[in-house]
Structure 1
């Protein structure tokens, strides 16, 4: 199960999904509530209910989907999807979990770069109750700054959609974003960082990793040099996809 992050839809997983299916895997990539429409429709007219969507509702949504599956799936999430993966793992769900450039659970200090990249969210008027949009300039400088200049606008138009501002405040305040760091019952967990990530800088991912080590469950960390927050779709994404799946299959005993 692939879980996308804020500002994105399951289309951001198309490359991973196709690669995994070609390897014989069964893959699902469900959307967050109110985001199961084409990108152009979401950009033009996002569902107003999206403004009230919170972390707990997103996590419950995926927990219900997992409960309906015949076997516990491998969970792979990116960014806020990586936080959701950690929250699901904390509930004991999934055979193994991989969080890529993940928003950390509550309790990990915020890196100055992360504060800079998210400043527009936290200064938006009434951001708690609004659907927010990412500007092309923010995508180009803080989300996918390692992309060639000629590709940045295309990627922003192809993938980036409005997202609920509420989830950012909840992550910062610990509302629905807490885990039991010493939880012995969670599945194996790997955290993956991009060394040049400005949205969730590698030191934040390492900080979450160190806290997860309090659990006796298997915990792993890997950092990809030269990669931004867009590492699942920039050059070398195949290496990220393969490392995530290979580790997860081994950890899950598959």
Structure 2
């Protein structure tokens, strides 16, 4: 069976991928998720011990997943959301995966748009420079703005209770400084013509990673001979992997993978 590694982003626990993993397993894939370095096994434990993940930066998280990939029987397909989408692109560019689906992927070095809504969504981290060394939690209201603005208040509250955890501030500070750092860990090899296919997915109502960011990422691949596709869900926000419409995105990802020969 073809391994599939699911990589989450900021403020979501690895168990948020459980429905995806079940669907992919039912289709014959072999699903895995590694969480982030230091991430406890449950949402409750993560909330009770936020500093367990405080020191994790981009390099540490990518290396954490690269080590898991090295233990798999074959190269995996990567499915990443938000910062997980950026990590998936970096790992794909390094030749460690068969292909990748990057959903609302955090911006990497060379991607210039910085919409005001993205600044507002990440303000809970950037409001205090010391957050670079700490884990940061969102309130239910902040989660609704950053993730769940396209669903009802009731669903937003349910998603927050079920999935939201504290996350390290370090990756955001590293990504914010990427275009000023010659050796930024937020660097993705967009010119690798030998990599596997990549699908970039964006939500038209996403405030954390607005479509301008994803479109700019897509343009960075124009000099690569490898397959890069783009798909938009106009009425979806940053919660599109966990809210009531998750299965549409997952099914479309399965169809795209099959269309490019990335079958179980």
Same fold, TM-score > 0.5, yes or no: yes
Tell me the residue number matched to 2:108: 105
> Could you state the TM-score of these two structures normalised by the residue count of structure 1?
0.95
1:84 matched to 2:84? no
CA contact (8 A) 2:159 2:242 kept: no
1:213 matched to 2:225? no
In structure 1, C-alpha distance between the alignment counterparts of 2:232 and 2:89, rounded to whole Å: 18
Tell me the residue number matched to 2:235: 226
What is the CA-CA distance between 1:249 and the residue it aligns to?
3.3
In structure 1, C-alpha distance between the alignment counterparts of 2:154 and 2:209, rounded to whole Å: 24
CA contact (8 A) 2:62 2:87 kept: yes
SS of 2:32's equivalent?
A: coil
CA contact (8 A) 1:143 1:228 kept: yes
In structure 2, C-alpha distance between the alignment counterparts of 1:123 and 1:52, rounded to whole Å: 18
SS of 1:126's equivalent?
A: helix
Written as runs of structure 1 = structure 2, the 5 A alignment for 1:191-202 is 191-202=200-211
Give the 3 Å change call, closer, same or farther, for CA 166–19 of structure 1 in structure 2.
Answer: same
In structure 2, C-alpha distance between the alignment counterparts of 1:79 and 1:32, rounded to whole Å: 13
Written as runs of structure 1 = structure 2, the 5 A alignment for 1:30-49 is 30-46=34-50, 48-49=51-52
In structure 1, C-alpha distance between the alignment counterparts of 2:262 and 2:86, rounded to whole Å: 23
In structure 1, C-alpha distance between the alignment counterparts of 2:222 and 2:16, rounded to whole Å: 30
Tell me the residue number matched to 1:114: 118
In structure 1, C-alpha distance between the alignment counterparts of 2:189 and 2:203, rounded to whole Å: 25
Count residues in correspondence.
253
Aligned counterpart for 2:245 among listed residues 209, 217, 236: 236
SS of 2:20's equivalent?
A: helix
1:100-129 deviation per Cα after TM superposition (whole angstroms, max 9, x unaligned): 011021111222221121122111240111
> Could you state the TM-score of these two structures normalised by the residue count of structure 2?
0.92
Tell me the residue number matched to 1:143: 147
What is the CA-CA distance between 1:213 and the residue it aligns to?
2.1
What is the CA-CA distance between 1:253 and the residue it aligns to?
4.2
CA contact (8 A) 1:170 1:177 kept: yes
1:6 matched to 2:15? no
CA contact (8 A) 1:96 1:252 kept: no
What is the CA-CA distance between 1:154 and the residue it aligns to?
2.1
In structure 1, C-alpha distance between the alignment counterparts of 2:65 and 2:173, rounded to whole Å: 21
Kindly report structure 1 stretches of 4+ aligned residues shifted beyond 2 Å: 248-254
1:65 matched to 2:38? no
What is the CA-CA distance between 1:223 and the residue it aligns to?
0.3
SS of 1:190's equivalent?
A: strand
Give the 3 Å change call, closer, same or farther, for CA 95–85 of structure 1 in structure 2.
Answer: same
1:141-181 deviation per Cα after TM superposition (whole angstroms, max 9, x unaligned): 22111121112222112111010001101111123001232
SS of 2:89's equivalent?
A: helix
CA contact (8 A) 1:95 1:252 kept: no
CA contact (8 A) 1:93 1:187 kept: no
